[in-house]
Each structure stands twice: as C-alpha cells, then as structure tokens.
Structure 1
C-alpha cells in the first residue's frame, strides 16, 4: 500500500510527462487527479477553519463569465483556451499569495510543501496549454492583489490571515475544479 508521499511522487512524475502527451489531453486526463490531490492536502494541512469572511469580495462574476463561455462553446466556436487561461492565471495568482511571509502558519509543513509543489505542477502544465499572446484578466489580478493587501499585509501575515487565505484558496480551487 502506498503512503501519501508515494502518491505525491507519482503525481509529480505524471506532471513530468507533459512532453509525451498533448496539453489538452493532459487537462482531460491529469488535471482532475492533481486537483483532487491538492484539495485533499489543503484539508489535511491542519489549522482552524475560520468562519471569518474575507474583506475582498470573491470574483463570482469572473467565474460565471467563464462558465457562460463554456456553454457558448457548445453552441458557437468559442475557444476552450480562455477557460484554460483563466485556470492557469488563477493558480498562478494563488501561488503568488503563498510567496509571502509564512512564519505564523500553523499548517503541517510537509503537506504545505506538497500542496505548493502540486499547484506549481498544475501551473506549469496549464501554462504549456495556452498561448502567451493574450493578457491575463486584470480583474482577477486586482482581486488577488487586494486579497494580499487587505488580508495578509493588513493582518501582518498572522496565522489568522493565513487561515483566511487558505479558506479563499480552497473556494477558488473548488470552483476551478467544477469547470
């Protein structure tokens, strides 16, 4: 029977296989596996689940717009790449949030490292699936900058701030998983 560490290694090996298969195939066959793994790790990292709400409104309209674009794809010739670009940009912005001062974090460090490694793997693979021509959604970038400023910096990178970031991160990753 495999341990969690073995499964993490297996998933990271799958990430390295991106050059073997076409990126769209990678999304169909591997994105969900890694997504399930980092959502599981996020739950296992520990820490209190906060009831506090973030002082920055969740960008619900951006997610709805991408979901509507998916419906249009079936009717018109809307490009799937927009959805993949949105996924990639969201994961990139999440990884940037976790670059901050994490001294006060109460999470399991090993699980946190695994979580961040898998997130980075998702980002790298999704990045190879989208053309760099289009600029990322400015509203999404602004949302994450506000989250950084109004939660992490304003709360001095406290354990409570990181719990709030963890809650928001989970919400984003779950929404991305629905796509």
Structure 2
C-alpha cells in the first residue's frame, strides 16, 4: 500500500496542477460569491478514527471527486486526456485503498461528506453554468481534498 498509494497520490497532484486554468481573470470575484465551506471538521473527525475508518473516508473522498469530475467540463480549458488520466489515477487509488479495508469495510457513506460534494456540484458548477471559472474553483478545492486525503492515509503508513 505504501509505495503504490504515494505514487498514485503524487500522480494525481501533478495531473490536477496540469489542469490549472490559464484564463483565471474573474475567478477571484467568482470565488467570493460562490463558496462552499471546506469540511475541515470532517477531516479532523476522520483523523481521530480507526485505521479502517480513515481508509473508508479517504476512499469516499476519492470517489466523490471522480463523480464531480465526470460532470460536463467541456468549457474548462483542460486537455481531455489530462482529465481522463486524472480520473483513472484517482479511481485506481480509490479501488486499491478499498481493497485494503476488507469485506466488512462497506459501511454507509459519510452523509455530510456526500452532501458537501453535492453542494460543490449544485452551488458552484451548476450555478455558474459549468464555466471555466467554476471548474477552476472545483480544481483548487479538489487539490485540497487530494492533499488532505494523502495526509490521512500517510498517517497510517508512518504509524506502522
């Protein structure tokens, strides 16, 4: 798990950095009026959870990111192949972490985390018409999630 997770995590961060929107003028204004508070409290709760629950939380974050990025991103300035590679890496990461949880790891989803990602979709993407600015906000938010999920899983790797 150690080697593969770190490799996939690094790849996903490189790919999401490649997707940065070059035409970011106007994004700052958009960011102020269209925000969804980052769920720090959910990550704090997860960081105090059991190893299995930490993994389950990280898997859910990765799966929610994939669902978000499967929405219409045609107005973003991203290369389609980069988005596909990003989704492949994140899906692979989620699947491989899921396999570490075991058969009894099919707990119900964290509803608050799911609702947070729904709000990202509804209050940013849909409200802003899936615009390039909306996707840039989502990209930045997603990068934060990838880094937090990485820290969560890495805490398990270093404690062994």
Instruction: Tell me, yes or no, whether TM beats 0.5.
Output: yes
Counterpart residue number, 1:30: 4
- Cα distance in 2 for partners of 1:82, 1:104 equals 36
3-state DSSP of counterpart to 1:128: helix
Say yes or no: does 1:92 pair with 2:63: yes
Q: Match for 2:21 among 33, 44, 47?
A: 47
Q: Indicate the structure whose relative CO is greater, using CA pairs within 8 Å and at least 6 residues apart.
A: 2
Shift in Å, 1:29: 2.4
Distance 1:149 1:59 in 2: 16
SS of 2:113 mapped into structure 1: helix
Three-state SS of the structure 1 residue aligned to 2:137 is helix
Match runs of 1:67-82 below 5 Å: 67-69=47-49, 79-82=50-53
Question: Is residue 46–residue 108 contact of structure 1 (8 Å, CA) maintained in 2?
Answer: no
Distance 1:65 1:123 in 2: 20
Measure the CA separation in 1 of the matches of 2:48 and 2:56.
15
How much does 1:132 deviate?
4.1
TM-score, normalising length: structure 1: 0.75
Deviates most, 96-105 or 48-57 = 48-57
Alignment of 1:58 with 2:32, yes or no, is no
CA distance in 2, matches of 1:115, 1:108: 11
Q: Confirm or deny that 1:148 pairs with 2:121.
A: yes
Higher-Rg structure is 1
Residue 120 of structure 1 and its aligned partner are, at CA, apart by: 1.1
Cα pair 1:104 1:158 within 8 Å, conserved: yes
Paired residue total: 144
Partner SS for 2:106: coil
* Match of residue 121 from structure 1: 92
Q: CA RMSD for the aligned pairs?
A: 1.5
Alignment-derived partner of residue 134 in structure 1? 107
Asked if 2 retains the 8 angstrom alpha-carbon contact of 1:55 and 1:151, the reply is: yes
Shift of residue 109, structure 1, vs aligned partner: 2.2
Please list the CA deviations of residues 37-89 of structure 1 after superposition, one character each: whole Å capped at 9, or x if unmatched.
110111112314644255211000011112223xxxxxxxxx31100000000
- Give 5+ residue unaligned stretches, structure 2: 153-160
